[in-house]
Chains A and B, each alone.
Chain A
């Protein structure tokens, strides 16, 4: 039980991620078959739908925008500031900060991760590991979106007896950029909203909020 309590945040989000992915599969399957019937085609099974490029593109385009959001958020909050926001560092701490502040190398203590202590390439990798992993997942899922999206786009072209396009041509298409940018705009709006709303609004008990009684211009404090 202690494991569940101590990891309840990630367990909760894993559970609702799996539930919503399953729901997306079921709803998407229904929508796909509806379109099939409208085009005088046959309905397909759920299992078949899960291997279609349409499903893969729908999943990947959302994943890539989420991981781009975190990539930009992680790197942006190193240097960019928002007065009064708990999402921002204090106004005098923009930048990568000192080794002492970051407990790196000689300033690491007994409980610091090993690669924070070792120095050299391992420390360089470790001190950027969050950005590296988020960026890798973003680029990987964006690549997956482009591959699956090109396949789905070409399926639609063939359904209308039109010519198909190469993957490279698809990267320049309005379909690819419409799907990409419709996701990006919502992610950037969400992060921007959080940064500014948290200046003036509060949620008691959440580390995403300042303490209820904290002044509006208090920056980089958590509740």
Chain B
């Protein structure tokens, strides 16, 4: 039974890991390219709403105001319907599995601790 659990659930399937990495790197690349519309496509509905509310601007414009650091993934974690991507020399990005695929729920996060949530530029 332990092996069945490992096979089905425990470690994050390789397809999910690749999708999560693509979403995180895709978002940071889009922001770096000043392509707000493409960047917003990677955000979850909750993250988009939170951003637009915080900045009082449409997502494509508001996303340009985020203070972000990093571009390429250093480490990927996937557990059930949640994921995190630590970027080289920069932020940690948190993602959730949605009906549209993996989408970013929190971005620009720094210093996550075991018993204290990270400080994030944006979270849903």
- Which chain A residues have a beta carbon within 8 Å of chain B's beta carbons? 36, 40-44, 51-54, 56, 60, 63, 140-141, 143-144, 147-148, 150-152, 154-165
Contact = CB atoms under 8 A, between A and B. Distances in A.
20 contacts: A40-B46, A40-B105, A41-B96, A52-B9, A52-B81, A53-B79, A60-B1, A60-B5, A141-B1, A143-B2, A144-B2, A144-B4, A144-B5, A151-B11, A154-B82, A155-B79, A158-B82, A161-B92, A161-B94, A164-B77
A150 B80 CA distance: 11
B19 interface: no
Contacts of B109: 161
Interface of B: 1-2, 4-6, 8-11, 44-46, 77, 79-84, 92, 94, 96-99, 105-106, 109, 112-118, 120, 123-124
Main secondary structure of the interface of A (DSSP, over half): helix
Given A41-B96, A56-B8, A140 B44 contact: no
A211 B9 CA distance: 49
A163 B113 contact: yes
Contact of B113 (A143, A148, A152, A162): A162
Given A144-B4, A159-B96, 10 more contacts: A41-B96, A51-B9, A147-B5, A151-B80, A154-B82, A158-B77, A161-B94, A162-B113, A162-B116, A162-B117
B77 A154 contact: yes
A140 B77 contact: no
Contacts of B105: 40
B120 A161 contact: yes
Main secondary structure of the interface of B (DSSP, over half): mixed
Contacts of B106: 161
A41 B5 contact: no
Contacts of A161: 92, 94, 106, 109, 112, 117-118, 120, 123
Contacts of A51: 8-9
Sorted nearest first, the 3 A-B pairs with minimum C-beta distance are: A40-B46, A155-B80, A158-B82
A140 B1 contact: yes
A28 to B, nearest CB: 13
Contact of A42 (B6, B80, B97, B120): B97
Most chain A C-beta atoms within 10 Å of own C-beta, residue among B4, B84, B115, B124: B84
Given A154-B79, A162-B117, A44 B2 contact: no
Contacts of A60: 1, 5
Contacts of A162: 112-118
Nearest to A51: B8
Nearest to B116: A162
B10 A147 contact: yes
Contacts of B120: 161
A223 to B, nearest CB: 35
A44 B117 contact: no
B117 A54 contact: no
A147 B3 CA distance: 10
B36 to A, nearest CB: 22
Contacts of A41: 44, 46, 81, 96-98
Nearest to B92: A161
Contact of B6 (A43, A52, A147, A152): A147
